[in-house]
Amino acid sequence: MQNYLKVIWGLQEWSDVPVSNSAIAEAAGVRLSTVSEALRKLSDQELIEHVRYGSVTLTEVGRDHAVSMIRRHRLIETFLVNKLEYEWDEVHEEADRLEHAVSDELVHRIDRALGYPTRDPHGDPIPSAEGKVHRPDAIRLSEVASPCLARVERISDSDNEMLQYFASRGIIVDAELSVLAGEPYSETVAVRIGEATVSLGPAAAAAVWVSTM
């Protein structure tokens, strides 16, 4: 059940779109009927509020459970990258496996060993031990008014191959880039990083969150 709480949190963290059963099923990689049964159990435990055929929201208690799992997950991802030299596209699945096995004390020691980081390798905020979450003021690259200067704040980790592509082009967290004036009727976003110009399609541009400078 904890995985469903984490999925719901992930779907609403960077989006204002109401979370639906079908969105949860797609994100969790399970059938819709499986999600419906899981949501019924979560609702019975008062961890979510679910309007039949409508949206799903976390209750305060459900949020606390989800944030606790998100904290574990993102601290483990950060530890794997910073201390064990994993690539940023390798850590999501590893963290999924490890987050259920580590104790609260180990999570605390990982946090301390890392110097109490506030974000993971992809720029997602790491909740504090008290459950506070600070999301950076950022918008999708696909929504930026060009031309402008921007700093990468967060990159979605939902597609490992896309993460590899971004890294190969220097599009990583904290990278500074120039968003070039768009061409009429074009859905691509062109950015300049150093001396290189990279054209990103709609899916890639929507996976990058930036703050303008």
Task: Residues 139-212: name the CATH superfamily.
Answer: Ferrous iron transport protein A (FeoA) (2.30.30.90)
For residue 178, give the 3-state DSSP assignment.
strand
**0.75 exceeded by the pTM?**
yes
pLDDT band at 213, cuts 50/70/90? Answer: confident
- Return the residue matching tokens 């995985």: 3
The fold adopted by the segment(s) 2-58 is Arc Repressor Mutant, subunit A (1.10.10)
Q: What is the residue extent of each domain of the chain?
A: 2-58, 139-212
Give the dihedral of Cα atoms 105, 111, 114, 117; nearest 10 deg.
180
Q: What is the DSSP letter of 193?
A: E
**For residues 178 and 125, what is the distance between their CA atoms, to the nearest angstrom?**
24
Give the mean model confidence (pLDDT) for residues 194-204.
94
Give me the pLDDT at residue 185, please. Answer: 73
The answer to whether residue 53 scores a pLDDT higher than 80 is no
Give me the pLDDT at residue 193, please. Answer: 95
Give me the pLDDT at residue 140, please. Answer: 96
